[in-house]
Structure 1
Amino acid sequence: MFRTPLAAALLFATPAAAQQLTPAEITRVDAIVADALASTQVPSASIAIVRDGRIVYARAYGDQGPGMKATSADAKYQIASISKQFTAAALLLLEDEGKLSLDDKVSKWVPDITGADRITVRQLLSHTAGIQDYWPQDYDFAAMEKPVTPQQILDRWAKKPLDFEPGTAWQYSNTGYVVAGMIIEKASGMKLLDYLQKKILKPLGMQAMDQDYAVGPGFPQGTHRFALGPVRPAKPAAHGWLWAAGELAMSAGDLAKWDIARIDRKILSPEDWAAQETEVKLADGSGTRYGLGVSLGQHDGTPMVEHGGEAVGFLSENVVLPEKRFAVVALVNADFGGAPGEITQGITEIFYPPMTTQPAQTIDQARDALARKLFDQLRSGTLDRALLTEDANYYFTPQASADYRDSLAPLGEPVRFAALGKPRLRGGFVNRNYEIVYQGKRLVAITYAEPGAAGKFEQFLVQPR
C-alpha cells in the first residue's frame, strides 16, 4: 500500500515556501529527512523551519497515503499532545479575561473527581495533579474502539485514588488535560475547539481542525508496525479519545505560525508566554522540566521549548529556541520509529551545532533483566503471557506476535541490550526504554510495566532506532 519511503521522498518532495536557506543547507535538511524515513521505513514526513522569526522552508516528503492525490506540505497531520500547549494557552487567556484563575481549585469547575478540592488548574497543566493518565500506552487499547466523552474518561480514571498528593511529584497525565478542557468550556461558555479557533487559530491564520475528522480522503494515512514487520495502515481511535489532551490536526507550516507567535510574544501577553515557559517546581523545590503544556530544556546552553505528540498512526515533534528566533517542526504518518525527533535534532544541529554532551543516565538492573527476558521470548515466538497485563495481551494478537517473531528472529543475538534514560512514572506504570544493537542495525524497545520488580508489562514495543 505504501511506496518505499526513500524512493518516495526523492520522487515527491514538494517545496511550499520561499526557500531562504542556502542550497547547501537545503541539501543537508533534505538528506536528514530522507535518511530518517529510510532508516525507520516511515512513509512520509512534513517539516517546517523558522529562522529569524520567519518560515524559511516547508516541505513534504514521501508517501502520505492513498487519500492524497499528491504529497503536499499543506496536508494536515494529527499533532496529538503538541495540542496541550494550545489548551494551556486557552486557560491563560481566560485568566486574562477574568473568568478564572490558574490557582482556582478544580472543585470550583469540576467537583466530581478525586482530590478536586486539593488540585489547582495550574497543576493540571503542569502534570503535577496526581490524576492517573488514561493513555500511557503507545498503542490503542480495546476501549478505544468505541467513542468516548470527556465525562466518561473522568468517570473511569479521574475518580480513582490519586497517584500522589498534588504538587509532590510529576507524572504525565492526559486525564488532567481532559479536566482542563472541561474547565475551558465551562468558563468560556464555548466548545473547546470554537474557543481555540476564535482566540488563537484564526487570528494567526492557522488552518487547523479537530483531529478526529482528519482521516480519509485528503488526509495522510496513519500507519503502524509490529517490531520490524511490514508497515500497515493504522485504524484510528474512535472519536473523543484525544480531545483536550491532543485535539488538533494541522500542517507543519501552520504549527510554525504558532511557534512564530511564541517567538514574537503575540496572541498571548509576554507575561503569559513567560508563565507557560517557566518550570513548575514541586513542593520540595525540585524541578520538573515542564511548564504549562510544554517541556523545557536547553540546546547547548540555549533555552528550548519542546513537545512531542503521538496519535494512532502519527508522531510529531515541535522544537523552539525563542532566544535564537528559531523553530523546527516534523510531522510523520507513523507511530513508530522516532523519525520526528531524529529530524528535529538533526536540523537544529545544522544551524546550532552542539558543543557539549549529556551525561549517561542510570538504570534499574532487575527490570532490565526482565525486559531482556521478554524480548528474547518475542523474538523466539515463546511469549509468556503471564508477564503481560490484560491490555498488553490484547495488543499481542496472533498477527502482532507473528510479526515480532518473523522480523526479530532472523537478526540473531543482539550485541547490546541496554537501558536508555531513567525510569519514569506514567498512568500508574513505570516507563523504561532500551537500546538494542545488532551488527549494522539499532532498535529501541519502549516499555511500560506495573511498579515493582515483578510488575507485569503493560507495553513492550520494538521499533527501529
Structure 2
Amino acid sequence: MKLRLMLGAAAMCVAAPLSAQSLTAEQTRAIDDSVSKALAATGTPSASIAVVRDGRIVLAKAYGKASETIPQARTDLPYQIASISKQFTAAAVLLLRRDGKLSLEDTVAKYVPGITGGDTITIRQLLSHTSGLQDYWPQDYSFAAMERPTTPQQIVDRWAKKPLDFAPGTQWQYSNTGYVVAGMIVEKVAGEPLLAFLQKRVFKPLGMKAMDQDLAVGPRYPQGYHRYALGPVRVEKPAASGWLYAAGELAMSPTDLAKWDIARLNRTLLTPAEWAEQESAIKLSDGKDTGYGLGVDVGQQDGRRIVEHGGEAVGFLSENVVYSDSKTAVVVLTNSDFGNAQTVIARDIAKLVLPPVAPGAATGDESARTAAARRVFDMLRGGTLDRALLTQDAAYYFTPEALADYRASLSALGEPTGFEAVRGPRLRGGFVNRNYRVTYGDRTLNIITYAEPGEAGRYEQFLVQPAS
C-alpha cells in the first residue's frame, strides 16, 4: 500500500445521518480538518468519531480507509475499543452486587482459587488496579505468546500466580491481569459468559451493538495497522484469540459507545449511586488519591470533571472522554496502534466546546534514563542495536524488518533538534514506563518505553511513533 494513496483516502469522510444542529458548520469543518491532519501526520489509515453535546449525539463521522477490503470507513463499523471495555466489566460487577450476588469487598479466593494474595485481594482492588497483580500486557506491541490462543485460566496461571508487585491497596499499577480475574468472577457468579451477561443487562437495554473483538476480524470489519518508527504502514497481524477478554474484549461503533456515555451523563441503566461509585477515585492505604475509579480514569480539567479511558488492541487505538458537568462526550476510534491521532483528535474536538487544557510535564531527576533513551534512539537511527539492552520480548519485537524500517525512516530526518522526557516514570507490569518527545524543526516524534527497574534496567519496549 502506498502511503500517498492512503493519505488521499484519509481526506475523504462519510457522515452518519444524525442531526448536527448543535454544531455549527464552522465547527464541523474544524473537526474535519483536525481529523484529516492527524491522520496525515501519523499515517493512521482511518478514524471514526462521535460527539455528544447536551446528552445527545450531535455528530458521527468516519474518515479514511477501514481496511484493505473497505476503502471508505463507515460510522456503523465496529472498531476494537480494547481497554475502554474495562468500565463495562466493572459495570457487570456493580449489577451483580445490586442483585445481591457478591460484594466489592469479597476476596478473590472466594471465587477463583490459586491466585497469589487471593485471600486478601478484594474485587474492588481488581477493578481499581490496586491489587498488586502483575500486568500481563504492559507492552504496546503483541509479544511472542500472543501468536497462540489463550484462555483466562492460562493467563491467570502464568501471571496471577507470581509474587505480588506490592501489598494490595498500597500502590496503583495498571493491571490487565486483575480484569481477567474480575471477568472470571463475573462469569462464575452470573452463571454465563461475560459478554452474554453484558448483552442482556447493558447493551440490549441501551440499544447498543457490541461484539467480541476476536470475532471482528475479516473482510467485513476494520483492519488493524502497524508501523515501525516512520516506516511503511503495514497491515497488522491480529493477536490470537482470548488475549483481551474482560480487560478489553469489545468491538463497537463510536455511536454505540456514545450511547453508553449518554447513559453515564443521564444516570440511566446504573443507579446514580452506582455511577458515582464507578467515578470516585480510589484511595490507597496511605490516603493517596489514585485518580482512578472502577474501570475509568477520573479527575479535573480546568475545573470540569472528566471520566476518561483509552484503549489499545493489536492494530487499534481509541479514546473516550466524558465531560460530566458539560453533558459532553467525545469518542475517537482508529485502526492503527501507532501515533497519537486518537488523543489529538479528541483534544481538538474538546477545544471547540471546552476551554483549552494545559499539558502536563515530567517531574523528578530523570537525566540518566533520558540519556540512556537517547543513546538507544541514536542506535536505531544508525541501524544498530545493542541487544544486551533488551529483554527477550523486546528482542522478539526488533526483527530485521523492524530495524530496517527504523533505520531508513529515522536516518532520513537528520539530527534531532530536541529530545526530552514528557512525563514522570510510572510502574506497570513490573516495568517502569517513561515517554519522550523528539523534535526535528516542525516535526515531532513520540517514544514510549518500558524498562526494568533501576538505572541499568533493560528495555522491554522502545517504540518510536509519529506525533501529530
Deviation at 1:300, TM superposition (A): 1.1
Deviation at 1:69, TM superposition (A): 6.1
Is the alpha carbon distance of 1:462 and 1:210 closer, same or farther for their aligned partners in structure 2, counting shifts above 3 Å?
same
Identify the residue that residue 35 of structure 1 maps to in structure 2. 37
- Aligned-partner SS, 2:409: helix
Identify the residue that residue 444 of structure 1 maps to in structure 2. 446
- Aligned-partner SS, 2:319: strand
Alpha-carbon distance in 1 for matches of 2:287, 2:307:
21
Alpha-carbon distance in 2 for matches of 1:451, 1:61:
41
Identify the residue that residue 11 of structure 1 maps to in structure 2. 12
Is the alpha carbon distance of 1:98 and 1:185 closer, same or farther for their aligned partners in structure 2, counting shifts above 3 Å?
same
Q: 1:277 is matched by which residue type in structure 2?
A: E
Q: 2:15 is matched by which residue type in structure 1?
A: T
Alpha-carbon distance in 1 for matches of 2:357, 2:259:
29
Deviation at 1:6, TM superposition (A): 4.1
Alpha-carbon distance in 1 for matches of 2:147, 2:357:
47
What is the aligned counterpart of 2:112 among 110, 114, 132?
A: 110
In 1, are the aligned partners of 2:64 and 2:72 still within 8 Å (CA)?
no
- Please say if 1:434 is aligned against 2:436: yes
1:264-413 correspondence runs (5 A) = 264-354=266-356, 358=360, 361-413=363-415
Alpha-carbon distance in 1 for matches of 2:304, 2:268:
21
In 1, are the aligned partners of 2:445 and 2:465 still within 8 Å (CA)?
yes
Identify the residue that residue 94 of structure 1 maps to in structure 2. 96
Identify the residue that residue 253 of structure 2 maps to in structure 1. 251
Identify the residue that residue 25 of structure 2 maps to in structure 1. 23
Identify the residue that residue 48 of structure 2 maps to in structure 1. 46
Q: 1:30-61 CA deviation, whole Å, 9 max, x = no partner?
A: 11111111110100000000000000000000
Identify the residue that residue 85 of structure 1 maps to in structure 2. 87
1:57-68 correspondence runs (5 A) = 57-68=59-70
Q: 1:313 is matched by which residue type in structure 2?
A: G
Deviation at 1:381, TM superposition (A): 0.9
Q: 1:7 is matched by which residue type in structure 2?
A: G
In 1, are the aligned partners of 2:361 and 2:423 still within 8 Å (CA)?
no
In 2, are the aligned partners of 1:5 and 1:44 still within 8 Å (CA)?
no
Identify the residue that residue 456 of structure 2 maps to in structure 1. 454
Alpha-carbon distance in 1 for matches of 2:115, 2:273:
31
Deviation at 1:358, TM superposition (A): 4.5
Identify the residue that residue 210 of structure 1 maps to in structure 2. 212
In 2, are the aligned partners of 1:126 and 1:280 still within 8 Å (CA)?
yes
- Aligned-partner SS, 1:187: helix
Deviation at 1:338, TM superposition (A): 1.0
Give the structure-1-normalised TM-score: 0.98
- Aligned-partner SS, 1:369: helix
Question: Which shows bigger deviation, 52-61 or 25-34?
Answer: 25-34
Q: 1:194 is matched by which residue type in structure 2?
A: A
Q: 2:26 is matched by which residue type in structure 1?
A: A
In 2, are the aligned partners of 1:363 and 1:421 still within 8 Å (CA)?
no
Question: Which shows bigger deviation, 7-16 or 68-77?
Answer: 7-16
Identify the residue that residue 182 of structure 2 maps to in structure 1. 180
In 2, are the aligned partners of 1:2 and 1:43 still within 8 Å (CA)?
no
Structure 1 runs of 4+ aligned residues shifted over 4 Å read 355-360
Q: Sequence identity of aligned pairs in percent?
A: 63
Identify the residue that residue 130 of structure 1 maps to in structure 2. 132
Alpha-carbon distance in 2 for matches of 1:213, 1:169:
35
Q: 1:399 is matched by which residue type in structure 2?
A: E
Alpha-carbon distance in 1 for matches of 2:361, 2:137:
30
Equivalenced residues, count: 465
Deviation at 1:354, TM superposition (A): 2.2
Is the alpha carbon distance of 1:391 and 1:417 closer, same or farther for their aligned partners in structure 2, counting shifts above 3 Å?
same
> Where in structure 1 are there 5+ consecutive unaligned residues?
none
Q: 2:113 is matched by which residue type in structure 1?
A: P
> Where in structure 2 are there 5+ consecutive unaligned residues?
none
Deviation at 1:18, TM superposition (A): 1.6
In 2, are the aligned partners of 1:171 and 1:427 still within 8 Å (CA)?
yes
In 2, are the aligned partners of 1:167 and 1:283 still within 8 Å (CA)?
yes
Deviation at 1:382, TM superposition (A): 1.5
Alpha-carbon distance in 1 for matches of 2:421, 2:325:
33
Q: 2:198 is matched by which residue type in structure 1?
A: L
Alpha-carbon distance in 2 for matches of 1:23, 1:5:
26
Alpha-carbon distance in 2 for matches of 1:458, 1:388:
6
Identify the residue that residue 463 of structure 1 maps to in structure 2. 465
- Aligned-partner SS, 2:36: helix
- Aligned-residue Cα RMSD (Å) equals 1.2
Deviation at 1:355, TM superposition (A): 6.9
Alpha-carbon distance in 1 for matches of 2:118, 2:440:
49
Alpha-carbon distance in 1 for matches of 2:2, 2:194:
35
